[in-house]
């Protein structure tokens, strides 16, 4: 369980996410790997409908890699109707179009809808069918919408855990405040503009002294290009100090250099 922080399990009902309902799952291993995928993204409520090998299942726990919070809370139902009876909104996953008038959602739009329902105090769930056949039309008719994953149409085969993981990922991402891009500054904090400007001034003075910034009419564009280069680097304050030291070292004794 590398990277796991067991102190972060205190989630509100809305944060725990929708119920994951596995209809007629065939193997304990598939239930266990689905549970692991769920807990990766903060989903803890699993419901089983008529699992082929019964419940509890030792193989499910063994392959769940410690997702005991999911395995221990599993609720088993005999029929899909019972599993969804207390829910306000249900999405059925499917790999093919059904002859029904229902919204067809992508994982991302499904996650947004689920969050909308649960933020309003509603209860929601996602139906996943048996590994070999998928949900029956009688299962799908119980849902408010269907979910289809955009995959290669020539090979649209996902196993149960993969399907659960995709939905869980989109659910988690929809509520995640992590910026789309960030820089990890392992060597110190980011340099301030004042520090960068100090470095630019130092470098440009030395370049002028050695006659690099010429002819005069090209000096402004050359300076802009140099500054842009270092701006793109996203330098830390330590890196700025290092570069200032490099400039000072290289220019300390002008007589040693023969710069044309």
Residue 256 is predicted with a pLDDT of: 58
- Residues linked to residue 49 through DSSP beta bridges, in sequence order: 23, 77
Three-state SS at 185: coil
Residue 259 is predicted with a pLDDT of: 47
Count Cα atoms within 13 angstroms, Cβ side, for 88: 12
Note the pTM of the prediction, 2 decimals: 0.69
d(CA 237, CA 244): 11
Residue 260 is predicted with a pLDDT of: 42
Contact 173, 40 (CB under 8 A): no
d(CA 210, CA 260): 8
Out of 1.20.1440.230, 3.40.1280.10, 3.40.50.720, 3.40.366.30, which CATH number does the structure's domain 17-174 have? 3.40.1280.10
Contact 64, 27 (CB under 8 A): no
d(CA 209, CA 231): 23
Domain extent listing, the chain: 17-174, 193-252
User: How many other C-beta atoms are found inside a 10 Å radius of the C-beta of residue 256?
Assistant: 8
Topology of 193-252 in CATH? Helicase, Ruva Protein; domain 3 (1.10.8)
Buried b / exposed e over 197-219, threshold 16 CB at 10 Å, is: eebbebbbebbeeeeebeeeeee
Residue 206 is predicted with a pLDDT of: 93
pLDDT < 70: residue spans in the chain? 1-16, 177-187, 253-260
């Amino acid at each position: 369980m590398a990277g796991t922080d067991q102190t972060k399990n205190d989630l509100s009902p809305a944060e725990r996410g929708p119920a994951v309902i596995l209809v007629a799952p065939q193997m304990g291993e598939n239930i266990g790997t689905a549970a692991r995928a769920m807990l990766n993204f903060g989903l803890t409520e699993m419901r089983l409908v008529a699992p082929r090998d019964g419940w509890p299942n030792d193989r499910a726990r063994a392959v769940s890699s410690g997702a005991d919070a999911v395995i221990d809370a599993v609720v088993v139902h005999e029929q899909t109707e019972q599993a969804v009876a207390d829910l306000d909104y249900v999405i059925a996953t499917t790999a093919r179009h059904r002859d029904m008038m229902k919204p067809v959602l992508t994982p991302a739009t499904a996650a947004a809808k689920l969050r909308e329902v649960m933020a309003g105090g509603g209860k929601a769930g996602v139906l996943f069918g048996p590994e070999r056949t998928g949900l029956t039309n009688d299962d799908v008719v119980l849902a408010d919408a269907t979910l289809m994953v955009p995959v290669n149409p020539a090979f649209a085969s996902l196993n149960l855990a993969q399907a659960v993981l995709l939905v869980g990922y989109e659910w988690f991402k929809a509520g995640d405040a992590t910026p789309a891009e960030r820089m990890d500054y392992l060597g110190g904090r980011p340099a301030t503009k004042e520090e960068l400007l100090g470095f630019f001034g130092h470098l440009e003075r030395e370049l002028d002294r050695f006659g690099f910034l010429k002819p005069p009419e090209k000096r402004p564009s050359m300076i802009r290009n140099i500054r842009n280069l270092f701006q793109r680097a996203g330098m830390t304050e330590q890196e700025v100090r290092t570069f200032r030291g490099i400039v000072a070292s290289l220019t300390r004794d002008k007589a040693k250099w023969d710069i044309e």
